[in-house]
Amino acid sequence: MKIILYQPDIAGNFGAIMRSCACFNIDLEVIEPCGFPLTSKAIRLAAMDYGTTQGIVRHKSWEKFLEVPESGRLVLLTTKGLTPLNDFQFQKDDRLIFGRESAGVPETVHSASDEKIIIPIATGMRSFNLATSVVISAYEGLRQLKCLPK
């Protein structure tokens, strides 16, 4: 399983996601541009000692991301998803993609996604914080696959 962030806006969320990926032993990729400088110093500040820019696969654009041959489904977590997270059956090579905090993902990303899932929340609420959504989804996927760290 991989976590892919599409043009994240907030360095603090990015740092929290780096830490979560490190704790779960999950690969992290980012599709640029980001809403903050993705430098070693910024990563150190945001992620503390849980990651470096060398541990992240970076893609300069959505088009460059698509050029990299990958196996596995591209699973978009979205408030427009039809399948609730708790009804979704994860596979080991799933690539979970999450959109920008401010705008989600464009239609091109929706169209390219193999699956679109939603994290159920209380009526009237918009969404979870990006870092929270990543943790909830990653944990559920690892739990289903019986791959949680021991």
DSSP-assigned letter for residue 36: S
Which pLDDT score is estimated for 149?
Answer: 87
Total number of domains in the chain = 1
Which pLDDT score is estimated for 54?
Answer: 54
Q: Cα separation of 43 and 31, whole Å?
A: 15
Specify if 149 maps to a domain. Answer: no
Specify if 43 maps to a domain. Answer: yes
DSSP-assigned letter for residue 86: G
pLDDT digits (tens, 9 = 90+) for 88-117: 999 999 999 999 999 999 999 999 999 999
Q: Are 46 and 17 in contact (CB under 8 A)?
A: no
User: Angle, to 10 degrees, between the axis of helix 11-24 and the axis of helix 130-144?
Assistant: 20
Exposure of 69 by Cβ count < 10 A (0-12 exposed, 13-18 middle, 19+ buried)? exposed
Specify if 146 maps to a domain. Answer: no
Which pLDDT score is estimated for 39?
Answer: 77
pLDDT digits (tens, 9 = 90+) for 4-48: 999 999 988 998 999 899 899 999 999 999 998 887 776 666 666
Q: Which residue range(s) make up the domain with 131?
A: 2-141
Which pLDDT score is estimated for 48?
Answer: 60
CATH number, residue 37: 3.40.1280.10
Give, for 77, the enclosing helix (H) or strand (E): strand 74-77
Which pLDDT score is estimated for 121?
Answer: 96
